[in-house]
Amino acid sequence: MKPQNKLKKLGCAAIAAAAFAVTLPVAQAEDTLFIPSLTYRTGPFAGGGIPFADGFADYFNMLNERDGGIGGAKLIVEECETAYNTQKGVECYEATKDKGALAYNPLSTGITLALIPKAPVDEIPVFSMGYGLSAAAIGEKFPWTFVYPTTYWNQLSSILKYIDANGGLKDQKVGFIYLDVGYGKEPLPLLENLSGTMGFELAKYPVGVKEMQNQSAQWLNVRKDKPDWMIMWGWGAMNPTAVKEAAKIRYPLDRFIGNWWAGSHNDLKAVGKPGKGYMAANFSGIGQDFPAVQDILKHVVEKGNSKVASADDVGNVLYNRGMFNAVILAEAIKVAQEMTGKAAITGADMRVGLENINLDEARLKELGLEGFTGPIKGSCADHEGAGSVFLQQWNGEDWEKVTDLIEPMNDTVRPLLEEAADKYVSDKPDWEGQTCT
Amino acid sequence: MFYREAGQFKTTYEADQAMLPIAQDRVGLLLILLIAFAAIPLLASDFFISSIMIPFLVFALAAVGLNILMGYAGQLSLGTGAFMGVGAYACYKLATLFPDLNILIVVFLSGFFAAGIGVIFGLPSLRIKGLYLAITTLAAQFFLEWCFIRIGWLYNYNDSGAIEVPQRMLFGLAITGPHATPITRYLVILTIVAIMTLVAANVLRGRIGRSWMMIRDMDIAAELMGIRPLFSKLSAFAFSSYYCGVAGALMVFFWLGSAEVESFDINHSFLIMFMVIIGGMGSLAGCFMGAAFIWVLPVILRAIPSAFELNILAATMEHISSIIIGALIIFFLIVEPHGLARLWRVGKEKLRTWPFPYAT
């Protein structure tokens, strides 16, 4: 995204927000459900944070407009700005937790790690959708943390499975280019482990946060090492830079696969045509051709209650992911309401709701999200829901879904996740897990 | 009239050399301590304590550390964030290696590691000054950040590269970890900060502090008068880094609960430098004023919309608060380039002669 565009977009968002602020008084219904939304509409990653926050807020607004909330209780979404900064994130948590917060979406690995130990104490679940600590998938050890629909590790195993199915992985050289922070380093233990068992050679290319936009050194090494496949764990400005550099050294882009934070419209629009062929993982449908998205357009966007700059932004990758985050929370609220029999639930009820979530094909169709994502079923032990990812490919102008859902290698990854969870708990003698029957 | 010391006779040398020679100052400080130790824990909300007071104290301590180096010894440093990181990582390593050691001892010990690293990176100050020295401390910042990422031993080979605070008790109360209440954490931090500020005030009034100020004012003259630059400069680095290190350990253990390397990046070095400059170089009270200005004011500004039921988007408020803080910084630096502490001193003079502006 060009800086001017970004500024313009921010400006529009601000104006839209101001207009929104004037026209909509806060309705205090009898029963309310309070959902804090930690956003990063400002700061270095705002380009990715804005569509996500829009999708998240719009879905809940749509439920309020269309159904009058969930189970008769109105939803109140309060945004708190973190600018992707851990300290501000913790401040947001402290500021909103006493208002009856049902769940937190920290949206940054740093904030997630800070909130995980606090969740059991304050009895508010942390829902880090597909990011954060992979080990949190183990429900016995992390009763208050959820990572539906999948983890970084399982996603990586899906990508490797795709490579294996398209030419084999044995004796191949796989390059891994990653942002050199907690987020990017998270899959390394699994990669190192699998490179032994699956018999591929691993080459690592770390990219420091300060050199996100200058990766010539890394790609020079790629040209020298000639890996057969490239996998990327990137974010923000790192993604378009990497794809541009790959195109520059004529690396075959259809053998270059990003994770789900490295495949948004923002990233590839900045590259445009030369990025044709680049692949990325995703778990939320692309585009507006889903009844639920149409409802958002009808009930929220067309009434001018959305913060999106234009209706075209609805349906892009990150917008739909923010919406999907809201879908899972809304479903958990519904489950919790059914199980407890009350409309205004608490954080502890929400935990039970999240644990018993069951988004099967039929339910997805009911929600107007048929084919949007794979089925997710949680349980006491499984806080990951065995979700799958699919791969999408950039055709020069837009993303296209090119594979079916690829199931992760649960048999291989699950024991490793359990090991990691044990390690996390090992130096915390007073950590409280739960026993699952 | 209000600050008139007329009638306060000093009959001993001790009274004449006291830290606060004027009775009004002593009463004022007592009042502040009373509010901090009694009124705030009794009356303030959890949010006020954990998101305003605790960070404020942590940053004030770090600002004291930098002010010793920059304001009193005249050595520019851009490595504050990294020195805080050294303290935090040292504290984490010590706490996990010796789980039975009292956490307060661990916090104080971890400062020594920061002091050691500070001395090593202070060595160039013997040859170079001013902005050039700032650049060598910038090297410290980048090098130490690199260490925090690359050396897995420092974070016990944690998968996410973060350090996480274990629970530790004091007198049967949890003071770190998620079970520690904000009030306990606040009281621990407040006690440490109060004691360390008192120590700093006395060191600065004494022989060592005076030698730092001599070096700051004119190093050649100081050398001719028998001050050893090697000892003075390096002791300033050690003392300052010790304070920053303890502040870093407090930040992770008593405030955030976990930290990645981003918590110690260059932006924090700048943040603390701004606190020192806005508060006033060469003033301990200024450190607290600067920390309040840079950290507390934005938090309060952000809380305004929800307090008055104004429906302003959080991100918009973030922009507005940046604009306001930026404008205020420019305003204060134009009105009083020597910082808020100087403003307070001027105010004190005015109060002293009030209501007769021309009396001396």
CB contact under 8 Å between B314 and A79, yes or no, is yes
Residue A16 predicted with pLDDT over 70: no
Pick from B117, B94, B104: which is nearest to B188 by CA?
A: B104
Strand A390-394 to A399-401 pairing = antiparallel
More reliable by pLDDT, A432 or A365? A365
Looking at the predicted structure, is the pLDDT value of residue B161 above 70?
A: yes
User: What's the predicted TM-score (pTM) here?
Assistant: 0.85
Work out the average pLDDT over B192-216.
95
pLDDT of residue A27 exceeding 60: no
Identify the domain containing residue A245 by its residue range. Answer: 152-282+391-415
pLDDT of residue B359: 59
Give the model confidence (pLDDT) of A261-320 as tens digits: 888 888 888 888 899 999 999 998 888 999 999 999 999 988 888 888 888 889 889 999
For position A21, what pLDDT does the model report?
Answer: 41
Per the structure, how many domains does chain A have? 2
Residue A426 confidence (pLDDT): 81
Q: Which residue of A has its CA nearest to B257?
A: A114
Higher pLDDT, A386 or A154: A154
Residues A32 and A85 in one domain: yes
pLDDT mean over B307-332: 83
Beta-carbon contacts of residue A401 (< 8 Å; ≥ 6 apart):
A282, A285, A286, A390, A391, A392
pLDDT at A1: 42
Query: Are residues A377 and A396 both part of a single domain?
Result: no
At residue A9, does pLDDT exceed 70? Answer: no
Asked whether residue A115 falls in the same domain as residue A10, the answer is yes
Residue A335 in any domain: the answer is yes
Q: Band the pLDDT of B127: cuts 50, 70, 90.
A: confident
Whether residue A86 is found in the same domain as residue A138: yes
The pLDDT of residue A323 is: 93
Output the six-digit token pair for A186: 């998270």
Percent of chain A with pLDDT over 90: 34
| Beta strands, E only, B106-207 | 163-164, 169-170, 173-174
Asked whether residue A352 falls in the same domain as residue A406, the answer is no
Whether A341 and A349 have beta carbons less than 8 Å apart is answered as: no
Per-residue pLDDT band for B180 (boundaries 50, 70, 90) equals: confident
| Cβ–Cβ below 8 Å for A87 and B50 | no
Please report whether residue A423 resides in a domain: no
Tell me if A432 is assigned to some domain: no
What is the per-residue pLDDT across A52-101, written as a single tens digit (0 to 9) for each? 999 999 999 999 999 988 988 999 998 888 888 888 898 889 888 888 89
Reply yes or no on whether the pLDDT at B132 is more than 80. Answer: yes
Average pLDDT of chain A, as a whole number = 86
* Element holding A174 (H helix, E strand): strand A173-179
Confidence (pLDDT) at A169: 84
**Which of A38, A427, A431 is the best mutation test for B, with the most CBs of B within 10 A?**
A427
Q: Residue B360: pLDDT band by 50, 70, 90 thresholds?
A: low
In the predicted structure, residue A18 carries a pLDDT above the cut 80: no
Sheet of strand A256-258, all strands in order from the earlier edge strand to the far edge: A201-207, A173-179, A229-233, A256-258, A279-282, A390-394, A399-401
Smallest Cβ–Cβ distance between A186 and the set B50, B156, B160 belongs to B160
pLDDT beyond 50 at A14: no
Domain co-membership, A144 together with A83? yes
Q: Does residue A30 surpass a pLDDT of 80? A: no
- Determine, yes or no, domain membership for A297: yes
- Do A65 and A130 share a domain, yes or no? yes
Split at pLDDT 50, 70, 90, the class of B173 is: confident
What is the arithmetic mean of pLDDT over B29-34? Answer: 94
Is residue A95 located within the same domain as residue A78?
A: yes
Is A291 found in the same domain as A374?
Answer: yes
How would residue B111 be classed by pLDDT, with cut points 50, 70 and 90? Answer: very high
The reply to whether A139 and A265 lie within a common domain is: no
Judged by a CB distance cut-off of 8 A, whether residue B149 touches chain A is yes
Of B333, B354, B351, B341, nearest in space to B280 by CA: B341
pLDDT in tens, A214-261: 899 999 999 999 999 999 998 888 999 999 999 999 999 999 999 988
Say which range, A169-183, A403-417, B151-165, has the weakest mean pLDDT.
B151-165
At A414, the pLDDT band (50, 70, 90 cuts) reads confident
Above pLDDT 90, what percent of chain B? 50
* Domain assignments of chain B as residue spans, ordered by start: 23-264
Give the alpha-carbon dihedral of A149, A152, A154, A159, to 10 degrees. 110
Searching chain A, which residue's CA lies closest to the CA of residue B54?
A91
* Whether residue A407 sits in one domain with residue A346: no
Beta bridge partners of A145: A126
What integer pLDDT is reported at residue A86 of this predicted model?
Answer: 86
Is it the case that residue A107 has pLDDT exceeding 90?
no
Instruction: With respect to residue A430, please indicate whether it lies within any of the assigned structural domains.
Output: no
The answer to whether the peptide bond before residue B21 is cis (omega within 30 degrees of 0) is no
Query: What is the spatial distance between Cα B296 and Cα A313, in angstroms, rounded to a whole number?
Result: 37
Judge contact between A410 and A387, C-beta under 8 A: no
Over 80: is that where the pLDDT of B308 sits?
Answer: no
Q: Are A39 and B257 within 8 A, CB to CB? A: no
pLDDT band at residue A420 under the 50/70/90 scheme: confident
Contact A385, A274 (CB under 8 A): no
pLDDT at A187 over 70: yes
> B258, B299, B319: which to substitute to probe chain A, counting the most A Cβ within 10 Å?
B258
Over residues B237-257, the mean pLDDT reads: 94
Which of B50, B167, B179 comes nearest A94 by C-beta? B50
Question: Residue A93: inside a domain, yes or no?
Answer: yes
The pLDDT of A416-425, averaged and rounded, is 87
Average pLDDT over residues A405-421: 87
Place of tokens 């939320």: A284
CA distance B79 to chain A (A): 17
User: In the structure encoding, which two tokens stand for residue B151, read together?
Assistant: 């050396």
Q: Which of A1-15, A121-135, B230-244 has the lowest mean pLDDT?
A: A1-15
Across the range A367-384, mean pLDDT stands at: 88
Q: Which domain CATH number covers A338? A: 3.40.50.2300
Structure tokens at B54: 């605790």
Question: Is residue A428 pLDDT above 80, yes or no?
Answer: no
Task: Check pLDDT > 60 for residue A29.
Answer: no
Residue B340 or A6, more confident: B340
What is residue B238's three-state secondary structure?
helix
B311: nearest CB among A21, A80, A94: A21
Q: How confident is the model at residue A23 (pLDDT cuts 50, 70, 90)?
A: very low
Regarding whether A207 and A120 lie in a shared domain, the answer is no
Instruction: Mutation target for B interface from A12, A20, A35, A91: give the one with most B CBs within 10 A.
Output: A91
Residue A434 domain-assigned (yes or no) = no
Q: Is A228 domain-assigned? A: yes
